[in-house]
Structure 1
Amino acid sequence: MAAADWIPGLKAVSTYQPAWLPRDVLAGIVLTTLLVPQGMAYAELAGLPAITGLYTSILCLLAYAVFGPSRVLVLGPDSSLGPMIAAVILPIAASDGDPARAVALASMLGLLVGLFMTVAGAAKLGFIADLLSHPTQLGYVNGLALTIFIGQLPKLFGFSVDGEGLIAETRGFVEGVAAGDTVPAALAIGAGGLLVILLLQRFLPKVPGILIAVLGGIAAVVFLGVGDVDVVGPLPQGFPPFDIPSVSWSDLGLLAAGALGITLVSVTDTISTASAFAERSGQEVRGNQEMIGIGAANIASGFFQGFPVSTSGSRTAVAFTAGARSQLTGVVGAGAITLMLVLAPGLLKDLPQPMLAAVVIAASLSLADPAGLRRLWRQRRIEFALAVAAFLGVALLGVLPGILVAVVLSVLNVFRRLWWPYRAVLGRADGVDGYHDLREYPDAAQIPGLTMFRFDAPLIFANARTFREEIRHLARQDPAPRWILVAAEPITDVDTTAADMLEDLDEELNSAGISMIFAEMKSPVREKIDRYGLTRTIDPEHFYPTVEDAVAAYRMISSLPGEPTG
């Protein structure tokens, strides 16, 4: 593989068009207005100092510009990863409450996520994104949105709570408000900022609502002198320092487990976001290279006091709308943040903490998708139930257990469809070509002595018993059929367990004077049937290329008149 395939940034430089430069620079400046407040807010959401969010933003943008394949995707601290990071590092770091240790743990977590992501991308394991089905992902993000929203309310009101988990945090917030812990100035700034962000996003989406809200919050602190409102304070000056995070071996196992969950969410988010914007930019999605690009971004962040990152749909949309044509937009954004830290680190020292809470709450509201849940309720109740179960897993058990619940539910849903696939008895309906499900066409005619059966799944160990019991049920009809014709087109595989079942079932039916017939079986499946030696018991002449051919053969041996055509 050519170097440009592994390092897309090389190709980007060689094919860059000078006409893109003004748009990329402008888009990078616009993007910076979003990167700074969100980076700081999501760092605190992860339980880390605000400055780490800026360090993370700089390094992940630079690394992805080199190793990422997309021209327009924007990476950075993410609202959906913040609670996951906190869930991993805070229980470990809480024993001594040392912020430096929390940063080291988060950086090591970023390195592990980057390692897992890079290895998975190199091994072409992009399919792991499919472990979260859409219904369970929908339930997960709605549960995450509620968890983030509730967790940020005390900060918006100017106080803090000690509870962990949705129920404890809700109780703590209600008790705090009832006890009069609310700081009116903090609530006014935070709620006012949230209102500005939401109104501008709704009615003037091209106006940088977050920037306006942040500037308004800083102005309120500076000019109104609200000293009882917590602020960010001075930021360290200079470029992010290189640091190899040091953690104990006992902590590494917990970090690795958390990194796997974060990797799964990040991969899923990346593939879906990349697919959406690839259509707009005319690019093809290179899922495995995307994983390598995100992995490199996480590794770079981890070595510079950063934490795990993912793609951001909202920031990518801002950059794309502002005219971004290449990853130079992200490089400009990283450069602008660096200049701020080097030349004006005190620029945001008066940024009120309730305003950061407003930024996070706005992000949580954008994550929530109640309309998607309502749509599932109308379309398919079983998948709605899966979404609700994933929602409750996050809301009641926590973010990381919620991920596990979502993955398990997704996998079980796949097995449910294999264990109990759709089955149908077929008949000929008036005015419709072919043979169709009697449940949809209850008046469809059946041929005396011939039962047609369709099994809509691969025939494997998990559903072999179901298939056998269905065939036995059909064989017990009164009068018993002479032929049971299996419309085998949906059967895409037959494993050895199912083959043994078919052999025993065919002998059982033959002893009762019933023949089991197959039609429209795919060639690869038929080859397996031959390889398993099933044609020793199942007559090779009992395989027909089409259902119509099988019906015609049955009519011939039964001396029945042919069916009218058309």
Structure 2
Amino acid sequence: MAGWVPGVSALRSYRLRWLPKDVTAGLVLTTLLVPQGMAYAELAGLPAITGLYTSILCLIGYALFGPSRILVLGPDSSLGPMIAATILPLVGAHGDPARAVALASMLALLVGAMTTLAGVARLGFVADLLSRPTMIGYMNGLALTILVGQLPKLFGFSVQADTFVAELRGFVAGLAHGKSVPASLAVGLFGLAVILACRRWWPRIPGILVAVVSSIAAAGAFELAGHGVSTVGRLPQGFPPFTLPGVPLSDFGLLVGGAAGIAVVSLADTISTASSFAARSGQDIDGSREMIGIGVANIGAGLFQGFPVSTSGSRTAVAEQAGAKTQVTGLVGALAIAVILLVLPGLLEDLPQPTLAAVVIAAALSLADLAGARRLLRQRRVEFSLSVGAFLGVALLGVLPGIALAVALSVANVFRRVWWPHEATLGRVAGLAGYHDTRSHPEAVPLPGCVLWRFDAPLIFANTRAFRERVLALARSQPPPRWIVVAAEPITDVDTTAADMLEELDQALNAAGINLVFAEMKDPVREKIERYGLTRTIDPSHFYPTVDEAVAAFRVHAAGEGAGTPTQV
């Protein structure tokens, strides 16, 4: 059982001296979980109370099945827009909250099933579908989308819109028509200033808690409700019942598509965050077990009127700074939230909605990575372009198409590198051992009569044409070479399409009096060459373990051959 449920193993080795720190960290964490859970629930288009239900169940689920000692899961700002983009078209403009909750719960169950099955099948590599540049662009686009979506609430009015452009137009139109409520804006800006100031100058002070408590006090002292400021209102008392969400079969198409996108983002975020915190403590992570932990957390949330969850770097950092030792911290947080629901449901009754908007906006600002985008622009323009493409995809097409575009761009970038790989003509450089790229070293001296050429990719169907055309171009150079030596160490594979190309290419070169020679070819690739029967055409003696040996063999061959010029190909 301990092998399948890491929480059992953790409890068996638990030390009583850790309990005070875990309890303290859990209570500190609760001050962050409650307002963020409510804010992110509204960001997803759901009642605020569902954020608390979700927090309780996902903390318990991950504490039992998650492998990380202190990773904290819960409602997440990066998933909120994706959840809304999935369920709101199904709910409709005037749909009832109960239907929205049922759809979100089913979405959580689908995400949980996908990630759990992927973990059991050890498919942790799925999280690698999002490259760092596209993730930066996606997060920047998401931050802008969240920011614009929360501005109306910060200013005290609402906008009915489904896209970023429509939300921006609606916000500007609302301002132009005088819909802004000054008291709402004042409360929201005060909360945002407190959160950002604490984050910047006093990171040990829970800025969100200070903003929430201050705004509740201000709402009572200044009767802000009478000045047009919306508040959360009294939360339902009690714990959510076990519920199997009822969803029409016709809704599953969109739900499955949304769940797939959410699963990829959640896994990428969780595994990267888990890796970061594990490296700081000298631990290793198991990507597949992380997938199972996330899956169970989502299933638990979905069965109790919750919605999909992910990890949170900020909440995990708070738990770590507060002294958390184990997942008991999460269990204490779940218990504290349950106590609030059962005993103190009116505790947050006067919390202003603009304060929740400030919490979400602060989270959105933390998602943005403008420094990362500038670094990409400075370091590699191609990857900066990928980042911009993902950013525009989220901003202009929407969150779900944006994540699909981000994945597609990541995969396309990998394919591009294989399709048009780096290749180099090599030569000798005075004072440097070996042979070097003539573009990096213009002073490199080529070997007369012998072209040394390196192809930096596996040789597969996608790049066979590029390989063939480049070799033929080298063969047509003046004076034409006698040997073309391929430095094949970077070639990690040769597929059957490439094998056919090599056979035809060798025949064409042989007809022109040019030998195609390979050096440093890996043994597994050489075995494939022999299995394909290429050594019927390519002379088996034309495979050398090193470039130096190939060059030495060419010199012996050239000395014995004497005069003679290859023909053009």
Q: The TM-score by the shorter chain falls in which range?
A: over 0.9
1:319 match: 319
CA distance in 2, matches of 1:7, 1:284: 17
Tell whether 2:10 aligns with 1:12: yes
Aligned partners of 2:25, 2:443: CA distance in 1, in Å?
64
8 Å CA contact 1:165–1:398 kept in 2: the answer is yes
Give matches, 1:297-316, under 5 Å: 297-316=297-316
Q: Which residue of structure 2 aligns with residue 549 of structure 1?
A: 549
Deviation of the 1:96 alpha carbon: 4.6
> What does residue 521 of structure 1 align with?
521
Contact 1:393 1:402 in 2 (8 A): yes
Q: 1:188 aligns with which of 166, 186, 189?
A: 186
Question: Aligned match of 2:208 in 202, 207, 210?
Answer: 210
Give 1:95 deviation, angstroms.
5.3
Indicate the larger mover: 458-467 or 282-291. 282-291
User: Once the 2 structures are TM-superposed, how far is the Cα of residue 246 of structure 1 from its aligned partner?
Assistant: 0.2
1:21-76 CA distance string (max 9 Å, x none) = 01000000000000000000000000000000000000000011100000010000
Task: Report SS of the residue matched to 1:256.
Answer: helix
Alignment partner of 1:88 out of 73, 86, 89: 86
Q: What residue number does 2:565 align with?
A: none
Pairing 1:341–2:341 present? yes
> Secondary structure of 1:426's partner?
strand
- Partner amino acid for 1:545? P
Structure 1 runs, 4 residues or longer, greater than 4 Å off: none
- Counterpart for residue 376 of structure 1: 376
Residue 58 of structure 2 corresponds to which residue in structure 1? 60
Q: Which residue is 2:109 aligned to?
A: 111
Provide the secondary structure at the position in 1 that maps to 2:516.
strand
Aligned to 2:567: none
Counterpart of 1:46 in structure 2 is: 44
Corresponding residue of 1:230: 230
Equivalent AA in structure 1 for residue 135 of structure 2:
Q
**Counterpart amino acid of 2:62?**
Y
> Aligned letter for 2:449?
G
- Per the alignment, residue 564 of structure 1 pairs with none
The AA in structure 2 aligned to 1:361 is: I
Superposed, 1:284-299 pairs within 5 Å as 284-299=284-299
Alignment partner of 1:73 is 2:107: no
The answer to whether residue 440 in structure 2 is matched with residue 440 in structure 1 is: yes
Distance of 1:553 and 1:437 partners within structure 2: 21
User: Structure 2 counterpart of 1:27, which letter?
Assistant: A
Q: What is the SS of the residue equivalent to 2:559? A: coil
Matched residue type, 1:478: Q
Q: What CA distance in whole angstroms lies between the structure 2 residues aligned with 1:530 and 1:308?
A: 52
> What residue in structure 2 maps to residue 403 of structure 1?
403
Alpha-carbon distance between aligned partners in 1 of 2:455 and 2:543, rounded to the nearest angstrom = 16
Amino acid aligned to 1:280: R
Give, in angstroms, the shift of residue 443 of structure 1: 1.9
Q: Deviation at 1:559?
A: 2.1
What is the CA distance between 1:344 and its match in structure 2?
0.6
Whole-Å separation in 2 of the counterparts to 1:216 and 1:206: 18
Shift of residue 164, structure 1, vs aligned partner: 2.1
- d(CA) in 1 for partners of 2:12 and 2:35? 33
Which residue is 1:328 aligned to? Answer: 328
- Aligned counterpart, 2:564: none
Q: Is the 8 A contact 1:6 1:289 kept in 2?
A: no
Q: Map 1:481-496; keep pairs closer than 5 Å.
A: 481-496=481-496
Q: Deviations over 1:245-271 (max 9, x none)?
A: 000000011101100000000010011
Corresponding residue number in structure 2 for 1:465? 465
- Counterpart-to-counterpart distance in 1, 2:437 and 2:4: 51
Q: How many positions carry a matched residue from both structures?
A: 559
Looking at structure 2, the residues matched to 224 and 445 of structure 1 have their Cα atoms a distance apart, in angstroms, of 82
Q: Which segments of 5 or more consecutive residues in structure 2 lack a partner in the other structure?
A: 561-569
Q: Which amino acid aligns with 2:331?
A: V
Please, which of 118, 134, 137 is the counterpart of residue 136 of structure 1? 134
**Aligned twin of 2:269:** 269
Equivalent residue number for residue 566 of structure 2: none
> Shift of residue 282 of structure 1?
2.6
Counting only pairs closer than 5 Å after superposition, residues 238-277 of structure 1 correspond to structure 2 as: 238-277=238-277
Give the AA of the match of 2:127: A
CA shift digits 1:454-485 (9 cap, x unpaired) = 00000000001100000000000121100000
Name the counterpart of 1:476: 476
Deviation at 1:174, TM superposition (A): 1.1
Partner Cα separation in structure 2 for residue 401 and residue 10 of structure 1: 40
Structure 1: where are the runs of 5+ without partners?
A: 561-566
Q: In 1, Cα distance between the equivalents of 2:344 and 2:171? A: 36
Distance 1:476 1:283 in 2: 56
User: Alpha-carbon deviations, 1:535-557, whole Å to 9, x = none?
Assistant: 00000000000000000111112
Q: Secondary structure at the match of 2:415?
A: helix
What TM-score do the two structures reach when normalised by structure 1? 0.98
Contact 1:194 1:362 in 2 (8 A): yes
Cα distance in 1 for partners of 2:178, 2:156 equals: 11
RMSD of aligned alpha carbons = 1.0
Which residue does 2:563 correspond to in 1? none
